[in-house]
Amino acid sequence: MKLLGEKGVQKILLVTAFSAISALLLIALFIIKEGLPFLITYGLGDFLLSSDWQPQSGKFGILPMVAASLWVTLGAMIVGAPLGVAGAIFLSEFAPRPVMRVIKPTIELLAAIPSVVYGFIGVMVLAPLIRSSLGGPGLSLLAASIILGIMILPTIISISIDSILAVPQSYREGSLALGATVWQTIHMVTIRAARSGIIASIILGMGRAIGETMAVIMVAGNAVKIPRSALDSVRSLTANIALEMSYATGLHREALFATGVILFVVIITLNSIAILAIRKRVGKR
Amino acid sequence: MNAKTILLPLLVLSILLNGGCGKGKTPITLAGSTAFQPFAEKLAEQYMSTHNNVAITVQGGGSAVGVQSTISGAAQIGMADLVVLPEDAKALTATVVARDGIAVVVNPANRITDLTTQQVRDIFNGKIRNWREVGATDAPITVVSREAGSGTRSSFEQIVTDITLTKDALIQDSNGTIRETVANDANAVGYLSHGLLNAKIKAARIDGQECTNETIAAGKYTLVRPIYLLVKGTPQGEIKNFIDYILSDPGQQTIKANGLIPAK
């Protein structure tokens, strides 16, 4: 044990801490280095606002992918956020503690299921169901939204539970003592006090949804067009990169890196908002 | 002290890595077409069992990678399954080692058995949108295609000609997922390498010709693409020997036994 000593351990930990940051920095630099020249020569406006994606004829417009990513993420929020927040309220406020202690880790286990498995279930069960009951090709915006909505549940539920439980018991007691009902106490006091934590959980879930690739490729159908209905097939930004990267060369490859730059900017923005929201919560206490 | 603890493992590691390869064997790297990759791996294995002076590595990456890495020298032999080789490949020596049929496939529940090339073109262009228009049940057609850059897709579009893929087309990124999608959707139509046909999907006759080894070999079935091996300059030495082996009877037999059509 003496071999390393206090100082040695400190230095090793320092190196480890910096390796994580430098990895992030390297990734960011690499994506920007590969993608930025394309954005400059092709033009950010043409790239973002054109809906023609035909790499073979030199047309690179990612508007359908941007639209798809936003719609899929919104869809996942519509499915996942109400379910997640409601589940968190039930587990923290109503369910007996022993029940919560069993259910919460079980839900967190959902996060450990590989996304390819979610995708497989989507292809085998959900898509045929949508095709036979609602029409369309089945592999669609709707299928992707439902699958992603389920995938983000663990993030939303576990962070929401933690922030609801962090609300001091005296708040609830005070509210009840003033004659408020249990439900009034929950939605006017508890939820309000835990609000920034719940918002942060939803934003983190959103980050997960927009960055998910494998499950989306499998269930969304990957057609390059701006969706007109939830039953249309769509291709997200992440799917666009993953689908074509293995074959792409030259300008096409640069365009995919540029897609990565756009995705990176979107995700950084979302994460910064989440971090700010969490800071606000900590500051309040 | 600190420098030593870091340097020592690095030193050991570098010795291990250096010792791992080499030993006087001539290395040959193949890269490119994922359709030919499994065949190349089998052929390399057979070849190395009788010629232990070479070490052949087979990598995928797609036809475009095959062309690029041969030009850059990252691979000695590039594999490409394209009907028309790109401009950059003009400088390379291309040898046809096999041929591959592309089958247009539908769900077994679909009544359709025959399509003309014109109908295939119109379906993939999005001009024909309902199975009724080609004589089957009244149901919307779900077009399934491959991603941009895929060798199978560019071959398909070049042989059928004048295809601007409909924007409604679903995109799948491998022959296998195309097969799964078509097998799961009664209204779907897609295309894939004919060696991968199975009972879960049905190949349509094109212009009256069934997609089989015989019709392809006889030149009757039209959706056929060549598989090229690309070499920088003239093939020499071990590289030439390996290509000669693939073109020899045992090599071509391996190709045939695993579902491709021999070059001759």
Instruction: Enumerate the domain spans of chain A.
Output: 27-284
The H or E element spanning position A278 is helix A250-284
Picking from A3, A15, A238, A249 by the largest number of B CB atoms within 10 A of its own CB, the best residue to mutate is A249
pTM, two decimal places: 0.80
Note the helical H segments in A182-236: 182-185, 191-193, 195-211, 214-220
Q: For B233, phi and psi rounded to 5 degrees?
A: 70, -155
| Residue A157 pLDDT | 95
Give me the total of CB pairs closer than 8 Å, taking one residue from chain A and one from chain B.
75
**Chain B contact for A57 (CB, 8 A cutoff):** no
- Alpha-carbon distance of A96 to A61, in angstroms, equals 53
Q: What's the confidence (pLDDT) of residue B1?
A: 42
Q: Average pLDDT in the B4-16 region?
A: 50
- What separation, in Å, do the N-terminal and C-terminal C-alpha atoms of chain B show? 67
The whole-angstrom distance between A246's CA and the closest CA on chain B is: 6
- A131 interface with B at CB cutoff 8 Å: yes
Chain B nearest-CA residue for A232 = B168
Which residues lie below 8 Å from residue B65, measured CB to CB, with a gap of 6+?
A246, A247, A249, B31, B32
List the alpha helices (DSSP H) in A53-112: 63-89, 97-109
* Residue in B63, B68, B148 closest to A244 by CB: B148
Instruction: Place B235 in a pLDDT band, splitting at 50, 70 and 90.
Output: confident
Interchain contact, A223 vs B171, CB within 8 Å: yes
Instruction: Determine whether the interchain pair B185/A217 forms a contact, defined as Cβ–Cβ distance below 8 Å.
Output: no
Local confidence pLDDT in tens for the 285 residues of chain A:
566 788 888 989 999 889 988 998 999 999 999 999 999 999 898 999 998 898 888 889 999 999 999 999 999 999 999 999 999 999 999 999 899 899 999 998 988 999 999 999 999 999 999 998 998 888 999 999 999 999 999 999 999 999 999 999 999 999 999 999 999 999 899 999 998 889 889 988 998 999 999 999 999 999 999 999 999 999 999 999 999 887 777 888 899 999 999 999 988 887 787 778 767 655 554
Which residue type, as a one-letter code, is found at position B14?
A: S
pLDDT tens track for A210-262: 999 999 999 999 999 999 999 999 999 999 999 988 777 788 889 999 999 99
Cβ within 8 Å, pair B170-A252: no
Are B167 and A223 in contact (CB < 8 Å)?
Answer: yes
Round to whole Å and give the CA distance between A39 and A48: 10
* ipTM field: 0.78
CB contact under 8 A, B147 and A222: yes
**Contact criterion met (CB < 8 Å) for B170 and A123:** no
Q: How is residue B216 annotated by DSSP?
A: H
Bridge partner list, B59: B31
Using the Cβ of A256 and the Cβ atoms of chain B, whether some distance falls under 8 Å is answered with no
Element (H, E) at A60: strand A59-60
Interchain proximity A249–B68, CB inside 8 Å: yes
pLDDT at site B21: 46
Of A138, A113, A76, A116, nearest to A215 (Cα)? A116
Q: What is residue B20's predicted lDDT score, i.e. its pLDDT?
A: 43
State which residue of chain B sits closest to A223, comparing Cα positions.
Answer: B170
| Single-letter amino acid, residue B78 | G
Q: Find chain B residues with C-beta within 8 A of A246's C-beta.
A: 60-62, 65, 149
Q: What are the residues whose beta carbons fall under 8 Å from the beta carbon of B258, sequence distance 6 or more?
A: B38, B39, B42, B195
Instruction: List, in sequence order, every beta strand (DSSP E) within chain B.
Output: 26-32, 54-61, 77-80, 92-106, 114-115, 142-146, 170-172, 188-193, 202-203, 205-206, 224-232, 261-262
As a CATH number, domain A27-284 is 1.10.3720.10
Question: Minimal CA–CA distance to A185: which of A169, A196, A200?
Answer: A169
Mutation target among B37, B83, B147 for the A interface, most CBs of A within 10 A: B147
Of B62, B167, B187, the CB nearest to A246: B62
Confidence of residue B258 (pLDDT cuts 50, 70, 90): confident
Task: State which amino acid sits at residue A210.
Answer: I
- What is the distance between the alpha carbons of residues B153 and B104, in angstroms, rounded to a whole number? 12
B182-202 mean pLDDT: 90
Using the Cβ of A2 and the Cβ atoms of chain B, whether some distance falls under 8 Å is answered with no
Q: Pick from A104, A84, A97: which is nearest to A151 by CA? A: A84
